[in-house]
Amino acid sequence: GALRGLARVKPGSAVIPLVNWPSDAPRAGEQPIQQVRVNLNLNSLGVAGAADARLFAPGAEPKTLPVQQESVTVPELELWAVLELRGK
């Protein structure tokens, strides 16, 4: 599947909506994506020094995911989720 995301930022925090949107759009979210690596530019997002991200997905408890080498790995993405980052 194809992953789409567009960050929204304000000083010290950023949210990135993630959408599992395959090329055959009517099937969006039918095939969850596993181990999705999201590359981040923490300085550009205004969250320099962020050590973790919170993942919010429908029907699931929020998860805290580590930021490693300016990326976050989302264990599974069904139709959509939101990553939240906060700077130090």
Task: Tell me which DSSP letter residue 32 carries.
Answer: P
What pTM value is reported for the model?
0.84
Please check whether residue 85 is in contact with residue 43, taking contact to mean a CB–CB distance below 8 angstroms: no
Dist CA 24 CA 88 (whole Å): 40
Dist CA 82 CA 56 (whole Å): 5
Helix residue ranges, H only, 1-88: 42-45
pLDDT in tens, the chain (88 residues): 555 566 777 888 999 999 887 766 566 557 888 999 999 999 989 999 999 999 999 999 999 999 999 999 999 998 899 999 998 7
